Amino acid sequence: MTIVNEENEINSIFSHNDFVEFGSKTRNIAFENLSAIIRKNSGNNIPLGIILLKFLSLKEVIATFGFEKGDSFLLECVSRVRKTLIPSDTIYKISENNFLICLSKTKNEGHAILAANKINNAFKQPVSIDQHDISANIRMGIAIHPEHAETAEELIKYALNAQDIAIAERYPYVVWPGDPQQKAKSSIIIETELRNAIAENSFQINYQPKLDITDNKIVGVECLARWTSPSYGILPPDYFIPIAENAGLIDDLTVNIINLALRESREWTKSGNHLTLSINLSAINLQDGHLVEMIKRALNIWDVSPDRIIFEVTESAMMLNPEVSLNMLMELNKNGIRSSIDDFGTGYSSFAYLKKLPVSELKIDKSFVLNMSADKEDAIIARAIVELAHNFNMFVTAEGVENAETLNKLANMNCEYAQGYYIAKPMSNEKFMEWVGNCSYEF
């Protein structure tokens, strides 16, 4: 890989639109390009997301194998990143191991998070150097214009601050919290506040409706945990869940969410809406030998039938301890509680293991659904997952449905269920009850 100095022309193995390497002179080019995009987007009221991506392992690779192998390592890393992005996105190299990614079609913060998740998934498998498998050890900071900053300088600064938090807290990515005066979040403070929140039952749930595509009928909701930290405001689950796991709080938090969902859903039942509740379980939950009894106790307290609950687990969570996870899912199944594999297609479970799982549903990860109308490869993957699920006698739910065209394509694939902003965004219990009374779907 050629490192470009101030006197050199931009000379990259990628096209300019793909990847721009630079010293201080070309760093200014990246800054100017970002400023120009912000000016253009501001006039059209279009948001812009950026990701600062750092490969923490690069320096160690260079120290161990030399600069030539370091270049090979970096080329493979950048190549993987490029494959996760759309052609109009741009990658700039701003230091030896730090890259600025400009996301050209960011509709909201969720799209930037989706891009970060796709990048993170691209590095589930290590990079091979001289027959050594090396983790890239990536960290990302995300910032959004104009939500977080009005200028390119501020946007980069906040993305860098978010990346610093990700490095300090060992998270793959962090979204800048949005308050320039806010100090970096302390996991110690958040841990204390999580303990208090669990004791005081102060979590909330947002419900995202699940549509039966064939009958145009709402048949269930996904229960999404929400929490407002007294110190830092609203925090996404991707931020506070790992802290809860590390602090040994995740089982209590899960109990809290299950009981809240069952309690709030009683209002719907009184109205005749016997919707299923899809609730996420973490990898640590799957190792908890008391989980099944705790769930049965909650169902008895709130007088809810087990068949109204679907527990969602990711491929990666199950594969941390496959045998224990399999036994847990079998135990749930024996008690009439269904399970679903969430984010299917982004993990690494084998077909041999899949056929053993007592699950009733696969959920297609939204990274394959969002651009399905325009990306033939994503559509092929979605169709393959539907066919695979049906061969295993499973239903399929597609996440990330944002337009009628995508919904129609899924219907033609015989996909049973769909979630996404086209149907409805996640909403509080109160707003969900209002939505039920006004929406055009059947129940």
- Residue 349: its pLDDT value, please? 56
| Mean pLDDT, rounded, for 31-56 | 81
Question: What pLDDT digit, counting tens, does each position of 47-57 carry?
Answer: 888 999 999 98
Q: Which of 311-315, 363-367, 373-377 has the lowest mean pLDDT?
A: 373-377
Residue 376: pLDDT band by 50, 70, 90 thresholds? confident
Contact residues for 427 (Cβ-Cβ < 8 A; gap 6+) = 206, 207, 208, 435
Cα–Cα dist 157/145, whole Å: 12
Spatial neighbors of 31 by CB under 8 A, at least 6 apart, are 152, 153, 156
Confidence at residue 218, expressed as pLDDT on a 0 to 100 scale: 96
Task: Look at strands 90-93 and 98-103 and give their pairing.
Answer: antiparallel
How many angstroms separate the CA atoms of 436 and 335, rounded? Answer: 30
Class of domain 19-175: alpha beta
Strands, E, within 323-402: which ranges? Answer: 338-344, 361-364, 395-398
- Class of the domain covering 187-438: alpha beta
pTM of this structure: 0.63
Per-residue pLDDT tens digits for 349-360: 556 677 788 999
Pairing of strands 138-145, 127-129: unpaired
The predicted pLDDT at position 133 comes to 85
Res 16 pLDDT > 80: no
First to last CA, the chain: 58
Position 242 confidence tier, pLDDT thresholds 50, 70, 90: confident
Closest by Cα among 305, 357, 308, 352 to 331: 357
| pLDDT digit string, tens, across residues 400-433 | 998 999 999 999 999 999 999 999 999 999 999 9
In the chain, where are the structural domains located?
A: 19-175, 187-438
SS3 of 314, please? Answer: strand
Do residues 340 and 363 lie in contact, with contact meaning Cβ atoms separated by under 8 Å? yes
Nearest to 398 by CA among 367, 432, 429: 367
